[in-house]
Amino acid sequence: MSTASSIGRVALVTGGSGGIGQAVVERLVEDGLSVAVHYSGNRAKADALVAKIATAGGSAIAVGGDVADEHAMLAAFDQVEAAFGGIDVVVNTAGIMVLAPITSLNLADLDRMHRTNIRGTFVVSQQAARRVRAGGAIVNFSTTVTRTSFPSYGAYAASKAAVEAMTLVLARELRGKDITVNAVAPGPTATALFLDGKDEQTIQALSKAAPLERLGTPDDIAETVAFLAGPARWVNGQVIFVNGGLA
């Protein structure tokens, strides 16, 4: 439900046209925020989400750009501020995942994950630290695999461990600014990013791994993001594991 404190607040969600990103966008709009839906390659999908929000009476725009390109992100933040007057919440859901054992991972894939997951998060966090208004929040994305250490996730987990490190440092660097900085670490979640390349047996095994015996949903993750983006003013410098008790 919308609250008085959320009216007039503005969020930028990177990867906002993706599975978890879209759920986050829709949840923040439900809370009364104006939202910038960021996309990298699929403008049509972002535009469709913006149109859906507008039809339902919400406020949203689409902004594009490579999250690892500091000039593109500078322009994206400028666009959001020009449209809505400022930024209160930045959520970094943009990321890529390539799975392979460390012994056989193509190093080009390692570099791609490093560019998007580490450099991209750093670039967006840097802009967010400069732009987010007092009372705001920065929410980055890690993964539960930093704890479970599943085989074939070595490079991906390493990139997300870096995200955790920069998140916790930034929270402390923003002392006195009244801006919280946290990371959400989902467990197995039913999105295309997770499901692609996995056979049914693997999916079923992972769906039973958590005590709640199901995969997470994008809405499960979005609920936690909304908490961190809004009422959770005393949660800061933390990694929140959202995984049904898996780890």
156 noted as active-site residue: yes
What phi-psi label fits residue 85: left (phi over 0), alpha (psi between -120 and 50 degrees) or beta? left
> How far is residue 188's CA from residue 170's CA, in Å, rounded to a whole number?
27
Q: Distance between CA atoms of 223 and 121, rounded to whole angstroms?
A: 21
Question: Which residue, 61, 70, 71, is CA-closest to 39?
Answer: 61
Cα 151 to Cα 103, 220, 239: the distances in Å are 11, 25, 22
Closest CA to 186 of 135, 100, 126, 247: 247
CB 118 within 8 A of CB 38: no
Q: Which of 77, 153, 156, 241 is catalytic?
A: 156
Active-site residues: which are they? 156
